[in-house]
Amino acid sequence: MFSIGELSRRTKVKVPTIRYYEEMGLLPKAARTSGNQRRYDTAGLERLSFIRHARDLGFSIEAISSLIELQEHPDRSCETAAVIARSQLAEVRAKIKRLKTLEKELSRISKGCNGAGVSEDCYVLASLADHTLCDREH
């Protein structure tokens, strides 16, 4: 049995975040000492590692909730897990696509101004003021 601080150190998840996850129902309510402090065992550690890893991969709290529910019913079909993972992947791909468009446009805008001039003639400001100066849609 170890404290919340120890759990935090082992998982690299901050203490207030652990409490937040408990409140959100991602972590079960922790056992308490007689003085009301939280105590965890390896089950808690594993659960939090799972959450941490999923968050790192960009899964939402809600998605993680579903995944955990599934974990707790080993006999259930894992179709939901597959769907969640695929949709996360699709989202990530969509974000990449959009960001690449932005990157091109920002790079073009940025190249147009070295910061040496005066704001009146600034290409950055002109580009933002007038969308028609843009190469592509975004």
**Binding interface with a copy of itself (CB under 8 A):** 46, 49-50, 53-54, 56-58, 67, 70-71, 73-86, 88-89, 92-93, 95-96, 99-100, 102-103, 105-107, 109-110, 113-122, 124-125, 128-129, 131, 138
Rg (CA), the chain: 23
Stretch that binds DNA, among 16-24, 74-82, 102-110, 113-121 (CB under 7 A): 16-24
DSSP reduced 3-state for 112: coil
Question: In 3D, which of 92, 86, 84 has the Cα closest to residue 68?
Answer: 84
Q: Between 59 and 98, how does the x/- string for binding to DNA read (CB under 7 A)?
A: -xxx------------------------------------
Phi, psi angles (nearest 5°) of residue 38: -70, 140
The residues, any chain, with a CB within 8 Å of residue 126's CB and separated by 6 or more, are 133
**Is there binding between residue 15 and DNA (CB under 7 A)?**
yes
Nearer to DNA, 15 or 113 (CB): 15
The β-bridge relationship of strands 38-39 and 31-32 is antiparallel
How far is the C-alpha of 52 from the C-alpha of 66, rounded, in Å? 15
Q: Which residues bind DNA (CB under 7 A)?
A: 3-6, 8, 14-17, 19-20, 30, 33-38, 55, 60-62
